[in-house]
Amino acid sequence: MALQIVAPQTHPDTYFGAVPPSPVFSEPQTHGHRLIAIADRLATEYRNVAVGAELAAFLESEKFLFVVMDGWMFRNAILEDGRRQILDLMLPGDMIVGRRSGYTEVSQSIDAITDATVALIPIHLVSEVIQEMPSLALTLLAASQDALYASYESLVDTGRRTSLEAVAHFLVRIEARAANSIGRTANGTVSFPLIQEHIGDAIGLTAVHVCRTLRKLKTAGVIEMGRGWLKIVDRGRIAEIAGIWEDTGFETEHPVRRLAS
């Protein structure tokens, strides 16, 4: 049937329909291309969200699955006094799944960083299609896990890295996602529409401190930035600053204090 195109090529030994590691690129594969294909098939509505506008989605989040088709968005949490935490960035191919919330949870919204387009897929339609194509559910699960692991990275940046480490690590992560979703220009520049306030709100800093931190990275020749773009000049150096170590996949002994218990 026509929908076969969205079915991941899996075999029993492949974890949850994940694509095999690419031998060429070091960026992690995302499920974005697959989600976009799904949205093309199942969306009943497309919605445009202007720069700075909010996707009035959370009241209907139990009715639709959202897939970002174009532009940059972010999910943020807002405290009563205006403090704000960006929970995740959403690039084309990322999805938004609502959830019945408990009373302890902070209110969220989805905002557009650039003009953006979102596909709306009715939840009941997703459920129906899954009945005949269970692999769709596995794709959604994998995408959900991607978001979870991205959130974990933000948590480490925010909780346990210094501002310099956190900013460097954040830039590496987002640059990779942007490259993966949108691509780099020939000279290695990626689209990067975030302002310093966005960066600060994503990793728990103020815009002022982000500014000072970025300056260090710029004057050290590690990155170049302008309005709307980013170029990572010295990947080795920024990885070092960010505390990224080539991981072989094998557990190494950490010479660390152990949490006793």
Nearer residue to DNA within complex by CB, 188 or 204: 204
Nearer residue to a copy of itself within complex by CB, 63 or 218: 63
**Could you tell me if 238 and 168 are in contact, meaning their C-beta atoms sit under 8 angstroms apart?**
yes
- Distance, CA of 156 to chain centre: 15
Selected range binding DNA among 33-41, 120-128, 207-215, 231-239, rule: CB under 7 A: 207-215
Contact partner, 253, from DNA, a copy of itself, none, Cβ < 5-8 Å per class = none
Least distance to DNA, CB of residue 202, Å: 12
Total of chain residues touching DNA, rule CB under 7 A:
22
Handedness of CA 95, 166, 23, 16 (dihedral sign): negative
DSSP 254: -
Beta-carbon count within 10 A of 229 CB: 14
**Could you tell me if 194 and 175 are in contact, meaning their C-beta atoms sit under 8 angstroms apart?**
no
Q: Is 55 helix (H, G, I), strand (E, B) or coil?
A: strand
Contact partner, 212, from DNA, a copy of itself, none, Cβ < 5-8 Å per class = DNA
Q: Residue 87: in which H helix or E strand, if any?
A: strand 84-90
**Could you tell me if 241 and 252 are in contact, meaning their C-beta atoms sit under 8 angstroms apart?**
no
Contact partner, 208, from DNA, a copy of itself, none, Cβ < 5-8 Å per class = DNA
Whose structure tokens read 């076969």?
A: 4
Contact partner, 211, from a copy of itself, DNA, none, Cβ < 5-8 Å per class = DNA
CA distances from 258 to 40, 153, 160, 247, 250 (A): 49, 21, 16, 21, 19
Of the candidate residues 79, 141, 207, 220, the single one contacting DNA (CB under 7 A): 207
**Residue 220 is a binding residue for DNA (CB under 7 A):** no
**Could you tell me if 149 and 31 are in contact, meaning their C-beta atoms sit under 8 angstroms apart?**
no
Whose structure tokens read 């902070």?
A: 106
**Residue 226 is a binding residue for DNA (CB under 7 A):** yes
Contact partner, 73, from DNA, a copy of itself, none, Cβ < 5-8 Å per class = none
**Residue 227 is a binding residue for DNA (CB under 7 A):** yes
**Residue 224 is a binding residue for DNA (CB under 7 A):** no
Q: Site residues for DNA, window 144-183 (CB under 7 A)? A: 162-164
Least distance to a copy of itself, CB of residue 114, Å: 8
Contacts with DNA by CB under 7 A lie at: 162-164, 195-197, 200, 204-209, 211-212, 214-215, 218, 226-227, 260-261
